[in-house]
Amino acid sequence: MTRGAREPMPGRYPVTFGEVELLRDLDRQHGWMLSKDGVPQSYVDLEDPTYLDFEYVRLMADVIDVLPDGPLTCVHVGGGACTIPRYVAATRPGSRHIVVEPDAALVELVRSQLDLRSVPKLKVRLQGGLEAIAGIWDDSTDLLVLDAFTGATMPVELATAEYMADLARVLRPTGTLLINLADGKGLTFARRLVATVRGTFRHVALLADPGVMRGRRFGNLIVAASPPNCPSTCSPAAPPEASPRPAACTARR
């Protein structure tokens, strides 16, 4: 935590779109969980931002770690406790972040209770995902993370072909898109979203825990994609086969 930052206070807090709960991790001294309606939304370790508790966040980090070295210009649609911005700031010093989050009270809670000011070069835009991306310059972003949820589902307006085209517009030719979604048996939504993403992006990978990938249980999946004019050498890579964590399928148009 930064000097002068106060110790978080666990409890329930009203936010613009309902109520969230801040929970201390009894197994890690500086670990905190942010949940809404009983569903865990974000986890952060205030002393070690490279510690990632959620499986799907570790999958995102696996992709980020194989991108070319150096700082990144990032856009994050969906704020939560800003776990990925904290991770990128720690592992790639000098990175810049725009975090898009429409819930002003949630942003203030994370800023005051979870030391958001400790993340350098981070700006928050209090907007929805559609209008925020529309206001970002072309070819300006190295990493775009789409992690926005309404309850346990991804907003359908952020899963359209038109929105994917707008995301591609703001990505640089060597940029990478990461999308977090949740699905269950049959992976109906995941299949539709991957097909939509493939309509815009040449290199696409779907990553998840093997049980989720096989549709045996409900859980999070990650879509990783890169633009049509990105050579195959810069497409997002699945984690090494030696890793027992994820399963992945890839497709190129």
Indicate whether 243 pLDDT > 70. no
Measured between alpha carbons, how far is 208 from 219 in angstroms, rounded to an integer? Answer: 8
Backbone phi and psi for residue 41, each to the nearest 5 degrees, phi listed first: -110, -40
User: Alpha-carbon dihedral of residues 114, 119, 122, 123, nearest 10 degrees?
Assistant: 30
pLDDT > 80? residue 4: no
Q: What are phi and psi of 211, to 5 degrees?
A: -65, -40
Residue 172 — φ and ψ, nearest 5°? Answer: -70, 165
Please check the confidence at residue 237 and state whether its pLDDT lies above 60: no
Task: Give the per-residue pLDDT at 241.
Answer: 35
* pLDDT tops 50 at residue 236: no
Which is nearest to 60 in space by CA: 227, 251, 223, 230?
223
Confidence grade of residue 167 (pLDDT, cut at 50, 70, 90): very high
Whether residue 238 is predicted with pLDDT greater than 50 in this model: the reply is no
Where does residue 29 rank: exposed (0-12), middle (13-18), buried (19+ CB within 10 A)?
Answer: exposed
Structure tokens at 46: 């205030």
pLDDT in tens, 70-124: 999 999 999 899 999 999 999 999 999 999 999 999 999 999 999 999 999 999 9
- Work out the average pLDDT over 178-201: 95
Query: Distance between CA 232 and CA 203 in Å, rounded?
Result: 7
Q: Given this model, what pLDDT does residue 231 score?
A: 46
Could you please report the per-residue DSSP string of 118-181? GSTTEEEE-S-HHHHHHTSPTT-EEEEEE---BTTB--GGGSSHHHHHHHHHHEEEEEEEEEEE
**Cα gap 202→28, rounded to integer Å:** 41
Say how far apart CA 22 and CA 43 lie, in whole Å: 10
Looking at the chain, the whole-number percentage of residues with pLDDT higher than 90 is 81
Retrieve residue 248's tokens. 């992945």
Q: pTM to 2 decimals? A: 0.89
